[in-house]
Homo-oligomer: A and B are copies of this chain.
Amino acid sequence: MSEQVKISLDVMGGDNGPAVVLEGADIALIRRPDIRYVLFGDKDTIEPMLENFPRVKQASTFEHCDVMIQMDERPSQALRRGRGKSSMWNAIEATKTGASDVCVSAGNTGALMAMSKFCLRTMANIERPAIAAIWPTLRGESVVLDVGATIGADAQQLLDFALMGGAMARSLFGIERPTVGLLNIGEEDVKGLDEVKEAGRMLREFHLPHLDYKGFVEGDDLGTGAVDVVVTEGFVGNIALKTAEGTAKQLAEYLRSAMTRTWMARIGYLFARSAFVKLREKMDPNKVNGGVFLGLNGIVIKSHGGTDGEGFAAAIGLGYDMVKNGLTAKIEQDLTVYQKSRFAADEESAE
């Protein structure tokens, strides 16, 4: 496929401003020269900066936007103020008009989700969107969702998350039938939240061709990579994600402090330097930067607000891969198969 991938960028989003976004765009373009950007931002700020990134300028169209969404703005206010006019809104809308295949923003998460829902709407038969994170594990990577799109989820919504997360794992990891687990506080069938138990029953019953349901998983199964897709509602998912990030930072700090405490340790550090560099890369949260909004009529990727150029490039790369591997088509396919299977089950029980 020689087709270019069109990516719309909210150049104004993020804690560190447009420079990081443009730097990330440049890095991503070197790795994937068939990217074409549609940039949205403030003309007076962006146009002079673009001169420092000739590659990006060459591969982009630019559109001026009057409004820029603040990082601490309430979603409702952002929507009121930025609808139709902001760089964020326009970057999202581009995926709807076909001007782009995927939107990437490092802006305010709540505002990005509110605008994405309002502009793109949820897919047919999907009630709620989810944010999926890529979780580094001892086996490689897993998809974990929802990490904070909405609070609470009933059994049907958890099942929808499983289907969408499964489609994402198929797109991303190239597995035919990803393994799926429901996050719970015990592995036995009798334990945990009612909606989680009910979702487990449904997943077992429907025999979905593209999902290999493995039952309940616990918090410590996230890091080992016990399954390819971990499903939970947004409150728990968000706290699990941030707890893991916090623990990683804490241990990195322990390690740093242990390696500088004595002269012997410092000498040891010098010898093992390249090992530590590899370790730091492995623990770098930027490497897997990007939350994917699933369940909307368009793909939106949320980058960490505080990321650097490398991190933003990773988020762009993730969006690129999702498009190349036909994420949306895969989700639609899985949803259709499931709807048929559910319809058949309903027919049967009605007889």
Q: Which A positions have Cβ atoms within 8 angstroms of B?
A: 74, 137-138, 148, 151, 183, 185, 190, 192-193, 218-224, 232, 234-236, 238-251, 253-255, 258-259, 261-262, 264-265, 267-276, 278-279, 282-283
Q: Please give me the residue from chain B that is nearest to A241 by CB atom.
A: B219
The 13 sampled A-B contact pairs (Cβ below 8 Å) are: A137-B250, A138-B250, A138-B253, A148-B185, A185-B238, A193-B235, A219-B240, A219-B241, A221-B246, A222-B243, A251-B251, A251-B283, A267-B268
Which 3 residue pairs of A and B lie closest in terms of their CB atoms, listed nearest first? A268-B272, A219-B242, A268-B271
* B238 touching A219, Cβ below 8 Å: yes
CA distance A122 to B247 in the complex (A): 33
Contact of B264 with A272 in the complex, beta carbons under 8 Å: yes
Asked whether B219 lies within 8 Å of A239 as measured between CB atoms, the reply is yes
**B246 & A262 in contact (Cβ 8 Å cutoff):** no
Give the distance to chain B from A182, nearest Cβ to Cβ, in Å. 12
Contact A244 B242 (CB under 8 A): no
One complex includes copies of this chain to the number of: 2
Q: Tell me the complex Cα distance, A83–B245, Å.
A: 43
A148 to B191, CA, bound (A): 11
Minimum C-beta distance from A94 to chain B (A): 28
* A235→B239 CA distance, assembly (Å): 11
Complex contact B275–A258 (CB within 8 A): yes
**A138: B residues at CB distance < 8 A:** 250, 253
Contact: A274 with B278, CB < 8 Å?
no
- Flag if A273 contacts B283 (CB, 8 Å): no
Complex Cα distance A268/B245, Å?
27
Q: Quick one: closest B residue to A234, CB to CB?
A: B185
**A222 neighbours in B (Cβ, 8 Å):** 243, 246-247
**Inter-chain contact B247/A223, CB cutoff 8 Å:** yes
User: How near does chain B come to A198, taking the closest CB pair, in angstroms?
Assistant: 14
Known: A251-B251, A255-B279, A265-B274. 11 other contacts (CB 8 A): A138-B253, A151-B193, A193-B235, A219-B242, A220-B246, A244-B244, A244-B246, A261-B278, A262-B275, A267-B268, A268-B271
A275 touches B283 (CB 8 A): no
Given contacts A148-B185, A238-B219, A247-B247, contact A282 B270 (CB under 8 A): no
Closest to A260 in B: B275
| Distance from A192 Cβ to chain B, minimum over Cβ atoms (Å) | 7
| Residue numbers in B under 8 Å from A239 (CB-CB) | 183, 185, 218-219, 232, 236, 239-240
